Structure 1
Amino acid sequence: MAAAPTRIRAAVVGTGAIVSGSHLPALRALADRVDLVAAVDVDEERLAAFRALAAEPDETGPGFTVTGYTDLAAMLDAERPDLVLIGTPPSLHRDQTVAALRAGAWVLCEKPLCLTLAEYDEIAAAENPDGGPYASVVFQHRYGSGAVHARDLLTGGALGAPLVAHCQTTWYRDTDYYAVPWRGRWDSEGGGPSMGHGIHQMDLLLHLLGDWTEIRGMAGRLVHDVESEDVSTALVRFANGAMATVVNSVLSPDEVSRIRVDCADATVELTHLYGHTNDDWVYTPAPHTREAADRVAHWRTPAADLPSSHAAQLSVLLDAMRDGVRPPGSGPDARRTLEFIAALYKSAFTGRPVHAGEIAPGDPYYEAMHGGHPDWAPAAATAATSATAATSAKEQ
C-alpha cells in the first residue's frame, strides 16, 4: 500500500451536534496534519450551517473550505477522501462505513460502529487487512493520558494483580430524549444504555483489564416506553481472574461515570461524566504499600496531562494512517466490546451465563442484540426468528 499523504484529506458524514461539537474541534486542533474538504448531510439547511461554521476559525484552530454533498456516494466519487468521519444515527453506520472502505478511505465512526456482530463482520470483510483502510470506533475515553497511564500500570503489574472491578454509567434521560424517532429502538439504535451510553465505560474497562471470559446479565425496562432496556447490570469474569460488576442506566438523577479496579497493591479509580483528565484518576495504596513513597508517586504522576477527547483519538489514528498499521479501537479489539454487549443482552434475556466466543453465526444474538426474544424483540423480528428456527428444524 502506498504511504499516506503528508496532510490527510478528510470528510465528515452527518453534520449534527456530535460532528460540529466534537469532530470539528478535533480536526481544527490537528489541522497541520488533516484538512476537512467535504461534508455530507441529507438536510441541506443543516449542511449549509455546518459549512459556514467550519469556514470560520476559532480558538480551537483554523477554518476549512468544505464542499457540501447530500449523497455519500457522490462525495466519495468526487473527493476521494483519505479519511471519513461518521456521525450519523447508528442504523446508517454499517452501510456508510463499508461504502467508505470500498472507496479506499479509512473510517472513524461514532459508537456503536454497527448494530450487531453480523454487521461488524461485514465491515471487517470490507477492510484491507494488509495496511488498510481500516474502520475505527470512537472510544475517546481510552486516549487521555490518565487512561494510558492506568493501562500501562495495570498491564505491567505495577499495581499488583487486578482482583475486583466496578464499571458504572448511571446517567439520566427523560421522555423528551426518547421522542427522537430512532432512539430506544433495536433496528435504529441497536439497544438501550448498554449500546448507546455505557459502551464507553465498558470499552474502557475491557481496555484496562483485557479479555473477558464469562458474563451474567440482567436488563429492565423500568420507566421508559421503549423497545430496548433502560437499565442493565452484569457480573463479569476476566481471563486474568478478576471479577467485575457493571451498571448501565438512564434512570439516575445523580449522573456519574466511574471505573474502579482493586488490585493487590492499590485501588485505581476514575470518576467523571463525559471526559477525564489526570486529576480524575485516584490511586489509593494498600496498607502494605503506603510506605513506598517513590512507587506511589509514580502511580499518581503521568508524564503528560492530555484530556480524553476526539482529538486525542484522532491523533493516534493519523499516526496509524501514516504508518499503514491497524489503529487501536478497530478490528478484534473493538469487536471484543461489541461481543461483550451482545453477551450481556443474551445473558439478560435467556437467564444464563454467556461465555466469550459462543455468539457465532447461527446464534440469534449474532444477528440481533434482542436475539428474537419474545419479551424484547419487536413483533416482526420475533416472527422472523420463529420462522427461521422452524426452517432449520425441518432441514435437520
Structure 2
Amino acid sequence: MRAAVVGTGAIARGSHLPALARLAEEGRTEVVAAVDIDPAAVHEFCASGGIPHAYTDLDRMLREQRPDLVTVCTPPTLHREQTVAALRAGAWVWCEKPPVPTLADFDAVEAAAGDGSGPYASIVFQHRFGSGSRHVRRLLAERAMGRPLVAHCQTTWYRDAAYYAVPWRGRWDTEGGGPAMGHGIHQMDLLLDLLGPWSEVRAMAGRLVHDVETEDVSTALVRFENGALATVVNSVLSPDEVSRIRIDCEHATVELTHLYGHGNADWRVTPAAHVPDDEAAAWRDFGPDVPSSHLEQLRELVASMQAGQRPRSSGEEARTSLELISALYKSAFTDVTVRRGEIGPGDPFYTALHGGVPGWAPAAAVPGVPTGEEVSA
C-alpha cells in the first residue's frame, strides 16, 4: 500500500508516521510522500522519516504519486476538502479526529466515497481497537454479564491558556467545538462502540474559564436504544486528568480508567456476589495484551483495503459519534431533548455545531453578540 501523509505536525510525527513505519517493516505499507504548506517543515519531515517526495500542493501529490492511502493530519477545518480530494483521486483516507466540523461536511465526504465499492474514508478512533475493547465488546454483545443498565463516560482533562493560544483552537470554524468535539469524542465513540446506538440526549454546557468561542465543559444524559442510561462529562478544566468508562450490567460492572490510551491492565471487571468464580474468571481473561493505538487501527484498515471492504470507524459507524456530539450541542444551547435522526438538512445544527445561537455563535455569525464571556445553558 503506497501511503502519503498530509500535515506534518505533532500527530503525524508522533502517531501516524510511526504506525506506517511499523507496517512498512512488515512489508505492508510504503510511505511515498508527505504534504505540508510549510516547505521547510515538509522537507524536514521527509528527511527524518526517509520519505522520498515532499510537496506543498495536495492535488499535485495526488496526481504524481497516486497513493493508495492518504492519512490526514491537519486541523479539522481542512478535513472535508482534503478527504474529498483524496477520495476522488482514488485513495482511501485515514483522517484524524474530529472528522469534520459538521454533519453536513461528513455527509459531503460520504457522498464523495461513491457507490459503496470504495475507496472509503475512515476516522481515527483508535480507542475502539486493541484487546481490551475487543473483549468487552464481545461480552456486552453476547450479554455475558446480563443487560447493560447504567454507564458513565468521562473525559476530564486540563488545558491552559497557552494551549488555546494556537490560533485555530477554541473556535467553531476551525476546531469545530470544545472538549465535547475535540477531546471527549474518543471516549464517547468508544461508549457507542460498546453499547450500540443511542436514542436521545439532554445536555448542558458552559464556558467557565477560557476566553474562547466554544464551551470548555459539558455534561449530558444519554439514553440508548437498548434501554441503558449514561452520563457523559467532557472538561478541559480538570487538573486531575482522567479518561473513564464504566458500565453497570445485571451481573457485573466493567470499568476502563486511563488517560490517552489503554491496555488490558486498565480494565476492571467486578462481578456481582452471586456470580460463580469460574464465570468471573472468564470475564476477566482479556487474552494477550494489545494496547489501543493508531497502529492497531491502521492494521485493521490496511486489511480492509486489501479485502476491498468498508473499514470500521467509517460511514454510518463513524457518523453516529458526530451525530451524538451535534445533538449534545443542540440540547445544551437550546434547552431541549434531542433525538437521534433529528438533525438533518434545514436544521441549523446540521451546518454549524453552535447552531447560530446567540452567546455561542461567533460574533461574525450573530452581529453585536460578544464572544469570550462566561455562558452556561
Give the shorter-chain TM-score range.
over 0.9
- Which amino acid in structure 2 is aligned with residue 338 of structure 1? L
- Which amino acid in structure 2 is aligned with residue 111 of structure 1? K
Q: Is it true that 1:15 corresponds to 2:8 in the alignment?
A: yes
Q: Is it true that 1:29 corresponds to 2:22 in the alignment?
A: yes
Q: Is it true that 1:50 corresponds to 2:36 in the alignment?
A: no
Give, in angstroms, the shift of residue 378 of structure 1.
1.0
Give the secondary-structure state (helix, strand or coil) at the position aligned to 2:117: coil
For 2:28 and 2:301, how far apart are their aligned partners in 1?
11
- Which amino acid in structure 2 is aligned with residue 152 of structure 1? R
Give, in angstroms, the shift of residue 287 of structure 1.
1.3
Which residue is 1:226 aligned to?
Answer: 212
Give, in angstroms, the shift of residue 49 of structure 1.
1.6
Q: Is it true that 1:100 corresponds to 2:86 in the alignment?
A: yes
Moved more, 293-302 or 246-255: 293-302
In the TM superposition, what are the counterparts of 1:272-291 in structure 2 within 5 Å? 272-289=258-275
- Structure 2's unaligned 5+ residue stretches are 368-377
Give, in angstroms, the shift of residue 315 of structure 1.
0.4
* TM-score calculated relative to the size of structure 1: 0.91
Which residue is 2:333 aligned to?
Answer: 349
Q: Deviations over 1:157-208 (max 9, x none)?
A: 1111000000000000000000000000000000000110000000000000
In the TM superposition, what are the counterparts of 1:1-396 in structure 2 within 5 Å? 8-31=1-24, 32-55=27-50, 65-289=51-275, 292-382=276-366
For 1:215 and 1:143, how far apart are their aligned partners in 2?
26
TM superposition outliers: structure 1 runs of 4+ over 6 Å: none
Give the secondary-structure state (helix, strand or coil) at the position aligned to 2:262: coil
Q: Deviations over 1:272-293 (max 9, x none)?
A: 000000000000001111xx12
For 1:274 and 1:176, how far apart are their aligned partners in 2?
20
- Which amino acid in structure 2 is aligned with residue 361 of structure 1? P
* TM-score calculated relative to the size of structure 2: 0.96
Give, in angstroms, the shift of residue 259 of structure 1.
0.3
For 1:129 and 1:300, how far apart are their aligned partners in 2?
42
Give the secondary-structure state (helix, strand or coil) at the position aligned to 2:365: helix
Give the secondary-structure state (helix, strand or coil) at the position aligned to 1:380: coil
Give, in angstroms, the shift of residue 379 of structure 1.
2.4
For 2:65 and 2:249, how far apart are their aligned partners in 1?
50
Q: Deviations over 1:197-227 (max 9, x none)?
A: 0000000000000000010000000000000
For 1:130 and 1:204, how far apart are their aligned partners in 2?
25
Give, in angstroms, the shift of residue 304 of structure 1.
2.5
Give the secondary-structure state (helix, strand or coil) at the position aligned to 2:260: coil
For 2:142 and 2:44, how far apart are their aligned partners in 1?
48
Q: Deviations over 1:273-320 (max 9, x none)?
A: 00000000000001111xx12211111112221110000000000111
For 1:180 and 1:377, how far apart are their aligned partners in 2?
20
For 1:130 and 1:189, how far apart are their aligned partners in 2?
29
Change (3 A) 1:305 1:129: farther
For 1:66 and 1:293, how far apart are their aligned partners in 2?
57
Q: Deviations over 1:120-155 (max 9, x none)?
A: 000000003332100000000000110011101011
Give, in angstroms, the shift of residue 103 of structure 1.
0.3
- Which amino acid in structure 2 is aligned with residue 26 of structure 1? A
For 1:294 and 1:326, how far apart are their aligned partners in 2?
38
For 1:138 and 1:66, how far apart are their aligned partners in 2?
25
What RMSD in Å do the two structures reach over aligned CA positions? 1.0
Q: Deviations over 1:99-126 (max 9, x none)?
A: 0000000000000110000000000000
Give the secondary-structure state (helix, strand or coil) at the position aligned to 1:287: coil
- Which amino acid in structure 1 is aligned with residue 89 of structure 2? A
Give the secondary-structure state (helix, strand or coil) at the position aligned to 1:288: coil
Change (3 A) 1:357 1:67: same
Give the secondary-structure state (helix, strand or coil) at the position aligned to 1:165: strand
For 1:287 and 1:301, how far apart are their aligned partners in 2?
19
Moved more, 172-181 or 374-383: 374-383
Identity value in percent = 67
- Which amino acid in structure 1 is aligned with residue 12 of structure 2? V
For 2:113 and 2:282, how far apart are their aligned partners in 1?
40
- Alignment size in residue pairs: 366
Q: Deviations over 1:244-276 (max 9, x none)?
A: 000000000000000000000100000000000
For 1:321 and 1:131, how far apart are their aligned partners in 2?
11
Q: Deviations over 1:76-113 (max 9, x none)?
A: 00000000000000100000000000000000000011
